[in-house]
Amino acid sequence: MQFRSGVWAALLACVQTASATLQIVPGATWTASNGLHMQAHGGGLIKVDDTFYLVGEDHTNGAAFQNVNCYSSKDLVQWEYQGALLSLTNTTGDLGPSRVVERPKVLWNERTGKYVMWMHIDSSSYGEAKVGVAVGDTVCGKYEYLNSSQPLGFQSRDMGLFQDDDGTAYLLSEDRANGLRIDRLSDDYLTVVNATYLWPDHIEAPAMIKIANRYYMFGSHLTGWTPNDNVYTTSTSITGPWSSWTIFAQSGSLTYQSQTNYVLKLSNSEAFYLGDRWISSDLGSSSYIWLPLNISGTSVSMPYFSSWVPNVSEATAEGSWKVSPPNSVYEGETGTYANGAKTVSCSGCSGAGSAGWLGGPSNGTVTFHQISSSVDTMTTITIQYRNGDSAPRFGAVVINGGTPVKLEYLPSGSGVSNSTLHTLLQKGNNTITFGGVGDTTYAADVDRLIVPVS
């Protein structure tokens, strides 16, 4: 079966929508242009011209290093898989088999005209505690891996990068023996030159931004893959003094079950938090908790939204995000079945059950004929689904008779999970069919569709 590729660019080019409601849905399966859940864990963002690049860890096949992947997007919602910047080699060394390569972050060095990537480099037992560096000529092309070291002779595990307004860049580095460090990088960003600040506190997963001449450092306590209430500190000087560490998400929520990986500055008043919800037994099924931060002077807070609408177009008079519109809900079992699909009972599902036996040898389908919209709009349909398997399932979705779109459904355990479909809805009634990918495997059971009112 042929799945559409590069379709988002095509759709965006031809559809001028007054009020797109493309959403970020924290914790959902996030299918990219390649039909797979984004594999960019522990990642970072870099914006080049009007495009965001997400660079992170590929955990398709478990914890050990496979690839540092790169995805691109203009809206932070629809991500196009671009390829791997670094990949597993078959020789021993930092990028060889059974190695740890985590938290890759990329900066552009204006002096050298190169993209510079730093990342945590380790053995599978995390005994080496080093940081590695690579360079690239293009942001999302192949990078040349240079070397690794313990910066200034200190252990380094979780790390981040920060680039100040004057172009000076810093490595943020968790040193288990001493605390959390800010170390200055050389002008070419390829080496660590000296120490800028040391917190004696044990904080990892560091991410720093500067907004309106104030620095904000975010990080996590040390609880392994298990989440905790992450914290921030702020200062008007990178050399301190820094305020005491304070939580920013709802107390006890364990940062909505996530760990900081990056903070994206959008303007002098707005920034987004990017966190990982790690699934330690299956890292590739880890999801992304991205939420807007509320930053006001020394105070930072992060309320929860089950979905929200980023707006990162150049003109930001209305701000860089808004709350989602209300939803219409379509129960899976109210759709029209074909080819053996039928309602299955489902604990934890809403309504009378879910639409099951989708895909499989007879390619069962469920079709919704009246997904209504009052305008032509790009929007995000959240599919609440059941996949009780330990591996992901895949399905195809056909919208108004178009080319099938492949969607991933991460394991949902005994509950229901969300998977997001970013699509064009036409004014009037839309017909959407959910089925299998045509390889005899089953798609997930569809509990219900959550469609923003438009």
Ligand X SMILES: *[C@@H]1O[C@H](CO)[C@@H](O)[C@H](O)[C@H]1NC(C)=O
Specify the stretch interacting with ligand X by CB under 6 A; choose among 66-74, 112-120, 255-263, 305-313.
305-313
Give phi and psi for 361, each to the nearest 5: -60, -35
By CB under 6 A, residue 191 contacts ligand X: yes
What are the structure tokens assigned to 363, written together? 């390619």
Nearest-CB residue to ligand X?
A: 435
Site for ligand X in 2-31 (CB under 6 A): 19-20, 27
**Residues 337-376: x where in contact with ligand X by CB under 6 A, - otherwise, as a string:** --------------------------x-x----x------
**With respect to ligand X, which residue has the nearer C-beta, 147 or 202?**
147
What's the closest the beta carbon of residue 438 comes to ligand X, in angstroms? 3
Name which of 90 and 244 has its Cβ closer to ligand X.
90
Subset of residues 374 to 433 that bind ligand X, contact rule: CB under 6 A: 382, 384, 396, 398, 404, 417-418, 428-429, 433
Stretch that binds ligand X, among 32-40, 62-70, 136-144, 308-316 (CB under 6 A): 308-316
**Which residue's CB is nearer to ligand X, number 1 or number 391?**
1
- Measured from the CB atom, the residue of 69 and 156 that comes closer to ligand X is 156
Residues 160-189 close enough to bind ligand X by CB under 6 A: 184
The mark string for 65-104 relative to ligand X (x by CB under 6 A, - otherwise) is: -------------------------x--------------
Please state whether 302 falls in left (phi above 0), alpha (psi between -120 and 50) or beta: beta
For position 315 contacting ligand X by CB under 6 A, the verdict is yes
Asked if 335 and 343 count as a contact pair (C-beta separation under 8 A), the reply is no
Cα–Cα distance between 22 and 380 in angstroms, integer?
Answer: 5
User: Are β-strands 417-425 and 29-30 bridged in parallel, bridged antiparallel, or unpaired?
Assistant: parallel
Residue 333: what are its φ and ψ, rounded to 5°?
A: -75, 0
Which residue is it, tokens 């996030």?
Answer: 30
Exactly one of 62, 141, 303, 361 binds ligand X (CB under 6 A); which one? 303
Minimal distance, residue 343 CB to ligand X, in Å: 17
Q: Is 318 in the site for ligand X (CB under 6 A)?
A: yes
Q: Considering the complex, what minimum distance in angstroms separates the CB of residue 187 from ligand X?
A: 8
CB of 31 to ligand X, least distance (A): 15
Residue count of the chain, please give it: 454
Site residues (CB under 6 A) for ligand X, limited to 132-161: 146-147, 149
The nearest distance, CB 19 to ligand X, in angstroms, is 5
Q: How many residues bind ligand X (CB under 6 A)?
A: 43
- Count Cβ neighbours within 10 Å for each residue of 181-201 and write b for 16 or more, e otherwise: bbbbbeeebbebeeebbbbee
Instruction: CB nearer to ligand X: give 202 or 266.
Output: 266
Kindly state whether residue 311 participates in binding ligand X, applying the rule CB under 6 A. Answer: yes
Give the footprint of ligand X on this chain (CB under 6 A).
1, 19-20, 27, 90, 146-147, 149, 184, 190-191, 193-194, 294, 296, 299, 301, 303, 306-307, 311, 313, 315-318, 363, 365, 370, 382, 384, 396, 398, 404, 417-418, 428-429, 433, 435-436, 438, 450
